[in-house]
Structure 1
């Protein structure tokens, strides 16, 4: 029988961060078995190590309660911390993701190469409609885009912190739109400083109203900020997430000159049994 470990990622407090399940002995599980466990655990994602390849390399798959996702940042951080200090490489459905863990339980992942694209015609209007936002709710300095760093996330910037706080969307409508477009979460942001953002992430396709911390979307946002030259090629960006849910989470995004991937770091701690 699979052993399920539980961690909170992007926090040093079990009451904060985003909970993730970790199953290290998933070699004998099929897709239905992994989905069943993820649904029973009930977190936004559970990570399954389906193959141990030696030298710190693992095949890792991620399941929400409703479906498999190609890459999940917070479950990556949780899994790496569960494995312990050192260098790990996770082969995910999106590609190889190196993760470094220190002795204090801090993990830093490096995403696959990000990309940024325009929203297809009509998609912005449809997205605003199901979010119950208006065009003038958007920050004109941060144009809407779809960003990718292992999973696809539309990035919408709110013109005010109050707009970000008042999240009340059409769950079924957004879920249907996301499923049709292949989007994993929606990255809603408000810029609080030159190198800082408050962020929220609706995740109805996973059966979750909102993610308290979303490492994959953080990596995608880093790629977005670099591609649109909102920050430089050498930048550190600080994200606050989960405060509106009562589960404060802190994510650090690092961009390095000449490095294609985006680094995302944070701490993870075990949850009480």
Structure 2
């Protein structure tokens, strides 16, 4: 029998039961991909992250699984794993995570905040099928873009109040497109403390809706940065649980995501 130290962590929030919950599994021995997927299905969160220490100071392998498949990069689960490791070692100030794409994700502790260094991805124009818009309950969009690294379609709409009230037909949504991982809907924010808002729907590859999604900001930050002529912005995800983060464009290739996380539960998984 294998015993795996396992946590539940709420990411991108300063209070429990909000933000995006993730499972965090700290591995002291290798387990197979199928076992990781089964654990992710059992925990049932949008993502469960598996962390293994590598040689070298503060270096770890990190892998992300939804209940349906492996995900190359996930912001909220990276934040959750970082919170656990920083909590275990109060002297640790930085972490290097290496994901399945061999990206070196540099993480820093900043008081109660955690700052994660992520790549910047581009988008290109792609027409959204009418069936997809109908399934989302959207009648008009400002723009439709696609990011190839995450395989996500981005839709910009005018009104953040419409965004918060979207109630998609997820069965119709799944049938409306056969080659994307998810669809991100975004709008300018009317809240005084935020620049833009978003919601992320991904019944093709995960749960119906991801409560707060750091990974989409790898292209969303540049998208809004160009429109708002800003390098540093505050993002609000207006899902039912809600969540927030600060994003900053460092250069053409690199950005940071800054947020908080709350550890809810620590236990042992026996398999």
Please name the residue that 1:192 is paired with.
Answer: 189
Query: What's the CA shift for 1:62?
Result: 0.2
Alignment partner for residue 9 of structure 1, among 11, 28, 43?
A: 11
2:243 to 229, 241, 249: 249
Given the alignment of the two structures, is residue 219 of structure 1 paired with residue 221 of structure 2, yes or no?
A: no
**Cα distance in 2 between the residues matched to 1:98 and 1:188:** 26
Q: State how far apart, in whole Å, the 2-side matches of 1:53 and 1:225 are.
A: 38
> 1:22 Cα deviation (Å)?
0.7
1:254-269 correspondence to structure 2 within 5 Å: 254-256=248-250, 258-269=251-262
Runs of 4+ aligned structure 1 residues displaced above 6 Å come to none
Gaps of 5+ in 2: 87-91, 267-271
Q: Post-superposition shift, 1:103?
A: 5.7
Matched, 1:91 2:98: yes
1:1-273 correspondence runs (5 A): 1-25=3-27, 27-84=29-86, 85-102=92-109, 104-119=111-126, 123-134=128-139, 136=140, 138=141, 140=142, 143-147=143-147, 151-176=150-175, 180-183=178-181, 185-192=182-189, 196-226=195-225, 229-232=226-229, 235-242=231-238, 244-245=239-240, 247-256=241-250, 258-272=251-265
Contact 1:26 1:48 in 2 (8 A): no
Structure 1 unpaired stretches of 5+: none
Structure 2 SS opposite 1:219: helix
Q: More helix per residue: 1 or 2? A: 1
Matches of 1:70 and 1:235, distance apart in 2: 25
With structure 2 as the length reference, what TM-score do the two structures score?
Answer: 0.85
Residue 89 of structure 2 is matched in structure 1 by: none
What count of residue pairs does the alignment treat as equivalent? 257
1:204-242 alpha-carbon deviations (Å, 9 max, x no partner):
13442211110001222013234xx2133x511111114
Deviation at 1:250, TM superposition (A): 1.0
Q: Is this contact kept in 2: 1:98–1:109, CA < 8 A?
A: yes
For residue 80 of structure 1, give the secondary structure of its aligned residue in structure 2. Answer: helix
**Offset of 1:259 from its aligned partner?**
4.4
Give, in angstroms, the shift of residue 26 of structure 1. 6.0
What's the offset of the Cα at 1:39?
0.8
Q: TM-score w.r.t. structure 1 length?
A: 0.85
